[in-house]
Chains A and B, each alone.
Chain A
C-alpha cells in the first residue's frame, strides 16, 4: 500500500504529560495505535473499558515482541489518565495508553468505532500506512479469539 503523510499535529496526555503523535513512537520506527472505547457514557464506565476493547486488551502479547520488531503499540481513549492507569493496574495491562485531546479519532476513522491505525516514521515525518477495524482488529491482536 502507498503511505499517506500525516501532516497535522496531534496531542495526547500520557502518564508523563503531553505527547505528540511523533512522541508516541517512543523512538521506534513503527507505531500501532488502537482506539479503545473507555470514557464517560460508554458501557462499563468507569470500572472498565468497553467489553470488546477489554477482550482485545487481554489478548495483547508481551510488548517486548513488538519492540524487537522496532514497533510500539499504543492504546488511545478519551478517558483521563487517572482512570486509564487504574484499569491498567487492575488488569495487569502493560501497553502504553494515552488520552486523546483533539480530533485524532475523527481524522483516523476511530471516532465512532474501535479501530487500528499503523504509522511509520522517517526522521520527524509520520506516515499512515494501514487501517483496520471491526473483525480486522482481531487479526493483529486476538487471532486466538476468532478460531475457537
Chain B
C-alpha cells in the first residue's frame, strides 16, 4: 500500500484546481519576464567575429551569414 495520500475524485480535482491557479500565475509571470526581456535595450556589436563550421568551411558563419536559412525546417 502506498504511503502517499490518496483521495476521492472530488478531493483530487479540488487540489488540482487550486494548484492550477499557481501554475497560471507562473505562466503569466514567465510571459511578463519574456516581454521585459524583449524590451531590454540592445547593444550594437561593431567588432567582427569569425566562426568555423564543418559544412561550408572557414569563415562561412561570420555574422553577416550566420542567420542565413533561419526559419527553414531542414527535415525532408
Counting chain B residues whose Cβ lies within 8 A of the other chain, the interface size class is 20 to 34
Asked if B4 is an interface residue, CB under 8 A from chain A, the answer is yes
B15, B23, B75: the one contacting A91 at CB < 8 Å is B75
Q: Tell me the bound Cα distance from A146 to B24 in angstroms.
A: 13
The B-contacting residues of A in range 101-124, CB under 8 angstroms, are 120, 122
Known: A3-B6, A4-B8, A147-B37. 6 other contacts (CB 8 A): A1-B19, A2-B11, A122-B2, A147-B30, A147-B31, A147-B34
A2, A128, A132, A148: the one contacting B5 at CB < 8 Å is A2
B27 touches A146 (CB 8 A): yes
Q: How many A residues have CB within 8 A of the partner chain?
A: 23
Asked if B58 is an interface residue, CB under 8 A from chain A, the answer is no
Most B CB atoms within 10 A — which of A1, A90, A130, A139?
Answer: A1
Q: Is the interface of B mostly helix, strand, loop or mixed?
A: helix
Chain B residues with CB under 8 Å of chain A are: 1-2, 4-9, 11-12, 15-16, 19-20, 23-24, 26-27, 30-31, 33-34, 37, 75-76
Q: Tell me the bound Cα distance from A122 to B33 in angstroms.
A: 39
Contacts of B8 in A (CB 8 A): 4
B12 touches A1 (CB 8 A): yes
Contacts of B30 in A (CB 8 A): 146-147
Contacts of A90 in B (CB 8 A): 75-76
Most A CB atoms within 10 A — which of B11, B16, B31?
Answer: B16
Bitwise, A1-41 to B at CB < 8 A (1) or not (0) is 11111000000000000000000000000000000000000
B12 touches A132 (CB 8 A): no
The minimal Cβ–Cβ distance linking A108 to chain B, given in whole angstroms, is: 12
